[in-house]
Chains A and B, each alone.
Chain A
């Protein structure tokens, strides 16, 4: 299963609402996770099963979608959110998307 994220790069400012899209090459129901990776650090789980917020993750993060199209929304971008975001399907083994870099405008 191939995962395609868009955009590849996104320019935004602190306080902006940000949406990142992830499309699967086939139906994956809700078997999707989102991660944030800050520069030089390990990925950190944000969302699992498409819309469930991982414990300890700020409520400005939310996930939606099912089937083959999914969205990660950051309601009000914070300085620590300038990072790269990855989606991951886990219905068949697992696959990551290619990543979306959120950079400062």
Chain B
């Protein structure tokens, strides 16, 4: 059974940093692209970033480009996102999700974690 468990969320000050983790199990992690999707309170789903199975290709939403860095550890089956220079508008539940292909394109997402809340406030 595929399991994705996010951690690392919490309260951060504007301009601060957080690193989220997503521990994966139940599938061959390195064979699938992974993504972070966020959902601000009462709002819809917003793509944040996606990384290929090898980790060599990444994409970022314009809203986080230059501030967030996605990475993965294929030995320890863990996905990360380093979030710097946080803004109030980054407040959201952050979900990790598993793609159905190794490459970043042509992916839908067949398994999701339960999400971790990031709140940015002074």
Q: Which of A88, A93, A98 contacts B108 (CB 8 A)?
A: A88
Q: What separation, in Å, do the CA atoms of A95 and B59 have in the docked complex?
A: 13
Q: What separation, in Å, do the CA atoms of A43 and B47 have in the docked complex?
A: 13
Given the complex, which residues of A lie within 8 Å of B104, measured CB to CB?
Answer: 93
Tell me, rounded to whole Å, the shortest Cβ–Cβ distance linking B57 to chain A: 11
Q: How many pairs, one residue from A and one from B, have CB atoms within 8 Å of each other in the complex?
A: 57
Chain B, interface SS category:
strand
Which residue from chain B places its CB closest to the CB of A89 in the assembled complex?
B108
Given the complex, which residues of B lie within 8 Å of A35, measured CB to CB?
Answer: 45
Tell me, rounded to whole Å, the shortest Cβ–Cβ distance linking A62 to chain B: 16
Q: What separation, in Å, do the CA atoms of A31 and B108 have in the docked complex?
A: 9
Given the complex, which residues of A lie within 8 Å of B108, measured CB to CB?
Answer: 33, 45, 48, 88, 90, 94
Chain A, interface SS category:
loop
Q: What separation, in Å, do the CA atoms of A33 and B107 have in the docked complex?
A: 9
Is B51 interfacial (CB-CB < 8 Å)?
no
| Chain A interface residues (CB < 8 Å from chain B) | 31, 33, 35, 37, 41-45, 48, 54, 84, 86, 88, 90-99
New A-B pairs, 19, CB < 8 Å, besides A33-B109, A45-B108, A90-B106 = A37-B45, A42-B112, A42-B114, A42-B115, A43-B37, A43-B95, A43-B97, A48-B110, A54-B110, A86-B44, A88-B109, A93-B50, A93-B104, A94-B107, A94-B108, A96-B45, A96-B47, A97-B44, A99-B44
| Chain B interface residues (CB < 8 Å from chain A) | 35, 37, 44-47, 50, 59, 95, 97, 100, 104-110, 112-115
